[in-house]
Amino acid sequence: MKLTSTLLLVVLSLASFASLASSFNTLSQGSSLSTEKPEAVLTSPNGVFSAGFYPVGENAYCFAVWFTQQTRSHHLTVIWTANRDQPVNGRLSKLSLLETGDLILTDAGQFTVWATSTLSRSSAQLNLYNTGNLVLRTLEGENLWESFDFPTDTLLPQQFLTRNTKLVSSRSQSNYSSGFYKLLFDYDNILRLVYDSPNFSSIYWPDPGLLSWDTGRSRHNNSRTAVLDSLGNFSSSDRFTFMSTDYGQMLHRRLTLDYDGNIRLYSWDEQGETWVVSWQAIQKPCKIHGMCGENSICSYFPDSGRKCSCLPGYRMRNPTDWSYGCEAEFVLSCKKTASYFQNLSHTQFYGNDYGMFLNHTFHECKNLCLKLCEDCKAFQYVFKKEDGFSSCYPKALLRNGYHSPDFTGTIYLKMPKSAKKKPFSYANSTVEPFSLDCSIEGPLQPNRTYLRSRGNGTVKLMLWFVCGLGGLEIVCIFSVCCLLVRTRKNSGENKQGYLFTPTGLRKFTYAELKKATKGFTEEIGRGAGGIVYRGVLADNRVAAVKRLNVANQGEDIFLAEVSILGRLNHMHLIEMWGYCAQGKHRLLVSEYMEHGSLAQNLASNSLDWKKRFEIALGTAKGLAYLHEECLEWVLHCDVKPENILLDSDYQPKVADFGLSKLQNRGDSSNSTFSRMRGTRGYMAPEWVFNLPITSKVDVYSYGIVVLVMVTGKSTQIHAVDDAADRERKSLVTWVREKKNGEATKTCWIEDVIDPIMEGRCDMGKMEMLVSVALQCVEEDKNARPTMSQVVDVLHHHKDIRH
């Protein structure tokens, strides 16, 4: 209770701080700003930015520049700080512009904690420009110092990142002091993200596994500058460029290296009073180094975010902080016979190799690791069947551990034979996920002792304070899914003679699409979202053209959403080619699949069991990509055989993803999924019971699709084999009864599978597939696996002969 009242006081003082601000445009020589009057601030002429003392902790202030406008959750967004690592006291601390021309920040009336160290013969003044740049200049107009030359974690439009500057993240969500993540130009002229802690440093962006030309970067331009413009175009001298999803609009923007190590471009949404993510560098959170320390593995779970887990036989060093990593519970002996290797598939430890050894057999590699004794904690072995090429990487240290079903490598971990074998799971403990949402939970509250104004406050203010501690900006909207970094190697490239829109998608006119589809005559599919037509584009490519039923959707919103879809890129997802947004027309153009949908192929009995297995696996991969690489932004919400299309090799491609998002923009309230969607028979119980909608709804539908595919039956069946019970029952119930009821019979699976496959399929694999599908359709969403777990299991059984 005491804490609450203290908090309330602080909240009130902050509230008065925000509302009673008295502002100046200029700080002139001989004058100062004081922490005892934090309501006195400098503002830019356009009012967009303010500069003054900003509370960051218990009786602690930083001199900072922030956006004047609060977010909807009453939060101020700090752009720049003078003294982030050395906050000053609330009493007797001042920012003063001395007669000499030096701008200094004094703590408690005596210590100078920060200074510009400038000298001026004529008189000088401090101004905050409309760009957010805080500038110390002489009356003759000479710039003595400017904050744009000393960025903290944020770059504003027109602010150059140079060879002398870098962005440094905050320490944590609640601690605004310098953290370990940095954005800088490296010695080789390439713009990089680096994790740089006292104990180790490591580059994680661009992908360190790729050579610079594979990432589209150039080392040859020595100028080392990068800049963002107000329209959303970022461009760097190493040829890295990107455009925001809302490119072209004049918005307030900021590029911030967030405390989680990802760099994001935000645009200010005037109506929503929030910051919206319009680009981010890294899509797979586990690719960011440092969060899970030595000897631990990062894995990403759509439901709960990034998680770290200790390697088997290791335990956490510091139970409250994963960045300390894990330590071994055993001692390795150098005696060769005392160790064995435990394999962890789909797992990689980037870097820290003892060396790379070519042409080693698996046994030689293993023996090498044993011989290296303490210098080899594990080894990674890669063997390429095609060319008989092998490489062996003994690992001296196990850092940057990363588990992903996409990764095909296996790590072999050295363990003493005496160590007990323990079950191991990647899912054991959660790392603080990057939170864009204030209302989830606030960080720890330090005790403060403000005694300023009193009165009644509101819960809302409380909330913003709890979230807003530490003075860093928290953004309350999730907006962007999966912006694959597209380095545009050659922006002038224009092979098809198209005018590409900034998002890489082509914009079609309605007339063009009308012509391509012969006036919308050849219908090839129909769904809740709209009707799909076959069309032939001007360059003779065959396309699927979907007319969306989205009335009254603003063009800008539609474009923002479409550009996101356009950047999803996976071999098991239909590729988006373009769109049309003209008048009331909203159309999407994507690749066309000659083999039609899974539904059509099942109906025509053209699929053998091998193809069905491949389709189950490919579909799972496509959905796993949507769920995981996209930070769970894109749920499909309508997985069914009609939406799984087959290419010429009968490889599946998931279609119609992301439309759930497009169609539902009408009710822009917090619940994006307030209406039921999906197709009867494939819909998860959550829809019916109005439970929270997560990626597990797609898992459920996927399970049904697999059951339909394996059994060749529809989702509702007549139980014809049971004369007494002729009512319709669900396919799930029927399969479950077969499996459980006839457990004594070894070959229940033979009763279940599509009769046309009988006798000609691998029963073991089909049984496994059906078991996975039954898990996917569990009533309780927590009992269902994630799509990537499904991929893991199917992959594992793919090459096993039963």
What are the residues binding ligand NAG (CB under 6 A)?
A: 57-58, 171, 175, 177, 199, 221, 223, 225, 233, 235, 237, 293, 323-324, 343, 358-359, 410, 423-425, 428, 446-447
User: How near is the Cβ of 524 to ligand NAG at its closest, in Å?
Assistant: 36
In the bound state with ligand NAG, the residue whose beta carbon lies nearer, of 185 and 673, is 185
* Smaller CB separation from ligand NAG, 325 or 678: 325
* Smallest distance, ligand NAG to C-beta of residue 516, A: 27
The distance of closest approach from Cβ of residue 584 to ligand NAG in the complex, given in angstroms and rounded to an integer, is: 28
Q: Are 380 and 369 in contact (CB under 8 A)?
A: no
Sole residue written with tokens 């994680």:
204
Provide the minimum distance between the beta carbon of 225 and ligand NAG in the complex, in angstroms, as a whole number: 5
- Would you say 177 or 711 has its CB closer to ligand NAG? 177
Contact 152, 84 (CB under 8 A): yes
| Least distance (Å) between residue 104 CB and ligand NAG | 23
- The answer to whether the beta carbons of residues 166 and 180 sit under 8 Å apart is no
Print burial letters for 148-179: b (CB count within 10 Å at least 16), e (below 16): beebbbbbbbebebbeebbbbbbbbbbbbbbb
In the complex with ligand NAG, which residue's Cβ is closer, 211 or 444?
444
Query: Is 238 one of the catalytic residues?
Result: no
Closest distance to ligand NAG from the beta carbon of 214 (Å): 20
Cβ at position 134, least distance to ligand NAG in Å: 24
Crossing angle of helices 763-776 and 731-741, in 10° steps, is 120
Residues 87, 176: Cα–Cα separation, whole Å:
10
- What minimum distance in Å lies between the beta carbon of 177 and ligand NAG? 4
Residue placing its CB nearer to ligand NAG in the complex, 503 or 715: 503
User: Comparing C-alpha atoms, which of 239, 235, 242 is closest to residue 218?
Assistant: 239
Structure tokens at 478: 């999730």
Q: Report, in Å, the least distance between residue 538 CB and ligand NAG.
A: 24
Q: Considering the complex, state which of residue 365 and residue 683 has its C-beta at the smaller distance from ligand NAG.
A: 365
In order of 406, 605, 753, 754, 756, the CA distances from 763 in angstroms are 27, 19, 9, 12, 14
CA pair distance 696, 676, nearest whole angstrom: 15
Nearer to ligand NAG, 347 or 590 (CB): 347
- For residues 200 and 687, which CB has a smaller minimum distance to ligand NAG in the complex? 200
Residue 527: closest CA among 709, 662, 395, 402: 662
Query: In angstroms, rounded to a whole number, what is the distance separating the alpha carbons of residues 198 and 32?
Result: 37
Other beta carbons within 10 Å of 655: 24
Which residues, 6 or more positions from 244, have their beta carbon under 8 angstroms from its beta carbon?
232, 233, 234, 253, 265, 267, 278, 279
Q: Quote the least distance from Cβ 695 to ligand NAG, whole Å.
A: 22
DSSP line for 688-712 = HHTPPP-THHHHHHHHHHHHHHHH-
Residues β-bridged to residue 51:
42, 65
Cβ-contact 658, 665 below 8 angstroms = no
DSSP bridge partners of 412: 343, 379
Q: Rounded distance, CA 412 to CA 345, Å?
A: 9
The whole-angstrom separation of Cα 112 and Cα 104 is: 7
Residues in Cβ contact with 550 at an 8 Å cutoff, skipping those fewer than 6 apart: 558, 586, 662, 663, 665
Question: Is 584 annotated as belonging to a binding site?
Answer: no
Lookup: tokens for 380 = 């990674």
Direct distance between the N- and C-terminal alpha carbons of the chain, in angstroms, rounded to an integer: 65
Give 143 or 223: the residue with its C-beta nearer to ligand NAG: 223
The partner residues of 256 in beta bridges, in order of sequence, read 154, 264
Q: Residues 216, 306, 246, CA angle at the centre, nearest 5°?
A: 50
Report d(CA 24, CA 43) in Å as an integer: 6
Q: Check if the beta carbon of residue 86 is closer than 8 Å to that of residue 106.
A: no
> Looking at beta carbons only, is 68 or 174 nearer to ligand NAG?
174
Residue ranges of the alpha helices (H) in 419-495?
459-468
Structure tokens at 770: 């059906």
Residue among 150 and 324 whose Cβ is closer to ligand NAG: 324
Phi, psi of 616 (to 5 degrees): -60, -45
Query: Contact 578/506 with Cβ under 8 angstroms?
Result: yes
Cβ neighbours for 515, distance < 8 A, ≥ 6 positions apart:
none
Query: What is the nearest approach in angstroms of ligand NAG to the Cβ of residue 52?
Result: 20
- Nearest distance from C-beta of residue 470 to ligand NAG, angstroms: 7
- Of residues 260, 269, 638, 656, which has the active-site annotation? 638
Looking at beta carbons only, is 388 or 759 nearer to ligand NAG?
388
Distance between CA atoms of residues 441 and 236, nearest Å? 37
List the beta bridge partners of residue 57. Answer: 60
Instruction: Choose among 328, 522, 312: nearest CA to 421.
Output: 312
Contacts of 366 (CB under 8 A, 6+ apart): 341, 379, 412
Count the Cβ atoms, other than its own, within 10 Å of residue 777.
24
What whole-number distance in Å separates Cα of residue 787 and Cα of residue 166?
39
Tell me which residues are annotated as active site.
638
Positions at the binding site for ATP:
546
Q: Which residues are annotated as a binding site?
A: 546
